[in-house]
Structures are given as C-alpha cells and as structure tokens.
Amino acid sequence: MKRVFSGIQPSGDLHLGNLLGALVNWSKMQEDNDAVYCVVDLHALTLPQEPDVLRKNTVELAQLLIAVGIDPERSTLFVQSQVPQHPQLAWLMECTVSYGELSRMTAFKDKSNRDTTKFVSAGLFTYPALQAADILLYDTDFVPVGDDQRQHVEITRDIAERFNSRYGETFVVPEHVIPEAGARVMDLQKPDRKMSKSEGESPGTVFVLEDPKKIEKKFKRAVTDSESDVRFDIAEKPGVSNLLSILSACTGEAPEDLASNYEQYGPLKTDTAEAVIELLRPIQARFAELQSDPAETQRLLRVGADKAQVVAGEVLARAKRNIGLLA
C-alpha cells in the first residue's frame, strides 16, 4: 500500500482554496492508501501567534478536517508538535539544503517582502526544511497539495536525493498530487492573486464556515471584466476563469464545457455560489456537532500522534544511523 502525507497550518480560517486544492484529495486518497495527515502548528509559529488562539485554531482545524471527511480511524490524524521527530529531523534537513536553495523559495519571498517593516523570523526562511522533514519521516509516496506547494515538494525531493546520495538509501523520494480543477483558487476580488487567509474583511476569500448569504454576496461581487462572453481563458479572463474552475471543482465537469452553458456572468456567479454553498453545507453541519466536544478531538489527536510516532521514530533512527549520529 502506498503512503500519503500532507499538512495544513492552523493559522486563520480554512478557505475554499484549501478545500478544493488539497482537502478534497486528502479525503479521496485515504480510501486506497495509508494516509497520514497533520495539523502543522510548528509551521504556524513562523509568524507571531496569540497562544490561546493558536491552541483553539489547532483543535478546530482538526475538527474541520474530520468534518470534511478525514476519518481518524482510517487515516492517521495528528498535530505536528506532538510528534517530536519532526523538529529533530528538520535539523538534518537544514544541514542538507543550501542557503541559495532556500532563498529561491517564492513563498518566502512573498511573505518576507509583503511588509518590509514586519518581523521576519529565521523560521520563515528555514520552513521548507521542516516541511521536508514532515514528508520524509513517513516514507511518503504521494503528497496531495495545491499548486502553491509545488516548489516545496520539489525541494523535498532534492533534499531526499542529496541525502540518499551522500549517506546511502535513506528516504523515499515523494511525488506531489495536484488536482486538475481547484489547484489554484484565486481571490474573487483580485483574480491575479491566489485566495488566501488574508486579514480583515476579505471580500475575495470564501471561508468554509462562512454563512451562505455572505458567500452568495461574495460571488455576486466577484470581479470579472468589461466584456460579457463566458470563456475559459486564464490569461485574458482571470476572474471568469476562476469562477469556472471553482464550479468545475464542485461539479467534476471541465471548465471549458461549463463555459458553453453561459452567455452572461450573472447566472455563472449564481450557479457557482450555489454549488459552493451545497458543497459546504454538510461540512458546516458536521463541524457544529464536533465543536461541542473538543476533549474528544484532543483524545483522537493523541491517538494519532502515538500512531505517527511508530513510523516517524523508525525513519528518524534510520536517518541518524546513516548520517553518523550515535543511536
């Protein structure tokens, strides 16, 4: 059986990009694989966090993952900081990746350049080494992620190959799995930017737990363009193409085929909003049930962490042995 691993940060609220880009595949891939899914709270520390908020977000994100369909009986679902092998292997990864490689990561460049007066932690820079540790600790074959994580999986492969060639076969070299539709959900107001957990009002971001009326309004106000024909053309018509991609991810139909059903933007916006609201309805209902019992969620996460440590411990021991550290 193949091993699948992926992670998600407990920072901000879960949005439609996370769901369509990654979580739909997480849920699907647990059916035929040994799936390991992680709430990566250590990654969230790369930006300053409010302790109580981080704790609450971590448990609620785990509940949302369960609400989306991750089955903690079938998959291993855990919190990164409860498995100490992650930061331990991360050091070995930091010593296997170069400063130059880390400098080329677009996620780092974006986040560190956004506001030059802001504190930029060293963790934000070395973040891909921790991510490589997350993935390699489980002898992972496949990593389901959205398109923005492609570069981080690539660098993980480079690190694994370098380590293997220096110290002998140690790690499985993983492959990313990126969905056809929904790989890059764009901001509804700024369709040249990916949808993200931006701060403030966020008129361009649709949250998984958002009220249906608000969702409808956000789609109604989505930026399109001054023409009126509906075509799937990302370069020329990014706003319309984004709506078609979202509808495609919800319905399973190709965006080009969907485009031929519409002559105007209005009905496309209404149908996309409706499809998203229907997709989110059962998730919101299930989350409301789970939210009433955070102690049970924390118990499930503890069980997940114990299960994860069995594999993580073996792989870390292998890496330590091969690199020359004492057992």
Q: Where on the chain is the footprint of ligand TYM (CB under 6 A)?
A: 5-9, 17-18, 21-22, 40, 43, 131, 134-135, 143, 145-146, 148-149, 152, 183-185, 194-196
Beta carbon nearer to ligand TYM, 111 or 286: 111
**Cα 86–Cα 158–Cα 35 angle in degrees, nearest 5:** 50
Shortest distance in whole angstroms from residue 218 CB to ligand TYM: 14
Beta carbon nearer to ligand TYM, 6 or 30: 6
Q: What does the DSSP assignment read for 233-298?
A: -TTT-HHHHHHHHHHHHHH-S-HHHHHTT-SSHHHHHHHHHHHHHHHHHHHHHHHHHHHT-HHHHH
Shortest distance in whole angstroms from residue 295 CB to ligand TYM: 25
Beta carbon nearer to ligand TYM, 21 or 72: 21
Beta carbon nearer to ligand TYM, 125 or 321: 125
How far is Cα 19 from Cα 29, in angstroms, rounded to an integer? 14
Q: Which two tokens stand for residue 125?
A: 């820079």
Pairing, β 34-39 against β 3-8: parallel
Closest CA to 3 of 317, 284, 308, 228: 308
Shortest distance in whole angstroms from residue 138 CB to ligand TYM: 10
Choice among 111, 190, 307, 320 that is catalytic: 111
Is 197 an active-site residue? yes
CB 64 within 8 A of CB 283: yes
Pairing, β 142-144 against β 76-79: unpaired
Beta carbon nearer to ligand TYM, 87 or 266: 87
Shortest distance in whole angstroms from residue 64 CB to ligand TYM: 12
Closest CA to 157 of 178, 138, 136: 136
Shortest distance in whole angstroms from residue 154 CB to ligand TYM: 12
Give the ranges where the chain is alpha helix by DSSP (H).
16-18, 24-29, 41-44, 51-68, 85-94, 99-103, 106-113, 122-136, 150-167, 212-220, 238-251, 255-259, 265-291, 294-323
Query: If DSSP codes are grouped into helix, strand and coil, which group holds residue 15?
Result: strand
Shortest distance in whole angstroms from residue 263 CB to ligand TYM: 28
Beta carbon nearer to ligand TYM, 113 or 260: 113
Which residue has the closest beta carbon to ligand TYM?
21
Choice among 28, 190, 197, 307 that is catalytic: 197
Residue 295: count other Cβ atoms within 10 Å of its Cβ. Answer: 8
Choice among 28, 109, 118, 194 that is catalytic: 194
Which residues form the catalytic set? 111, 194, 197
